[in-house]
Amino acid sequence: MLALAGLGAFHGVNPAMGWLFAVGLGLQHKSRAKVLWALVPITLGHAASIAAVVAAVAILRDWLDIAYLRWAAAAMLIAFGLYRLRGRHRPRSTGMQVGFRDLALWSFLMATGHGAGLMLLPVLLHMPAGPAHAGHVGTMAPEVAVAAVAVHTAAMLAVTGAIAVAVYEWIGLAFLRRGWINLDPLWTIALLAAGLALLVPAIL
């Protein structure tokens, strides 16, 4: 669970995961309450994206051989990392007049498009499960799956909220005009590293 919390904190640091959008809304409306309001749909959208991956792993690990599942997960992570390494990914301009549902959908698509859930695969494949059989790792207990999503999302929300409030209240966006914090290279490296973390033990 500590690894899931760490990944949640890492996702929260990334401006593309939501804190920059929350600050932008707050500054537009000149309201800290708007910053805090934005965190709710942003968190729900991110949690939905993560939950989809957790649910898929919880189901597949009882039906597929663990070796095949690890190979498939490693291939997806490395392929996605290489795709992001090859392409140029910059934040797209987005209208700031958004509702709760629009912001939640944006957060879901952003987390999914960045492969946020895929980064959890090395951890999820080693989570506690039911009795193993025939090379499988067993079904992930529902309470374990829920706890995984909850711990990751709580860490992401804590970091996202802290950064958003700090930037809105004290730092301001002036520093972004002096130099944009581009976390895309680090994000891509993290995707590739997660894939290799699954691939290397499978080869050895």
DSSP 191: H
In angstroms, the CA 185 to CA 103 distance is 25
CA distances to 67, 85, 97, 122 from 157, rounded to whole Å, are 33, 27, 22, 22
Select, from the ranges 45-49, 99-103, 200-204, the one with the highest average predicted confidence (pLDDT).
45-49
Residues of the chain with pLDDT > 70, as a percent, come to 80
The structure's pTM equals 0.78
Q: What is the pLDDT of residue 97?
A: 57
Domain ranges (residues) in the chain: 2-203
Q: Which segments of the chain are extended strands (E)?
A: none
The residue among 113 and 13 whose pLDDT is bigger is: 13
